[in-house]
Amino acid sequence: LLASRICDVEEYIIEQDKKEKKFMEFFYNVDWLDPSLFSLEINLSKVSREEGIQQVIDLISA
First to last CA, the chain: 44
Reported pTM: 0.55
Rg (Cα) of the chain, in Å, rounded? Answer: 16
* Residue 1 DSSP symbol: -
Instruction: Provide φ and ψ at 31, rounded to 5°.
Output: -85, 115
Of 39, 59, 55, 36, the residue nearest 47 (C-alpha): 55
- Is residue 3 over pLDDT 80? no
What is residue 5's predicted lDDT score, i.e. its pLDDT? Answer: 85
Q: Would you kindly state where each structural domain of the chain is located, as residue ranges?
A: 1-30, 32-62
- 9-57 pLDDT, tens digit per residue, is 999 999 999 999 999 999 999 998 898 888 788 999 999 999 999 999 9
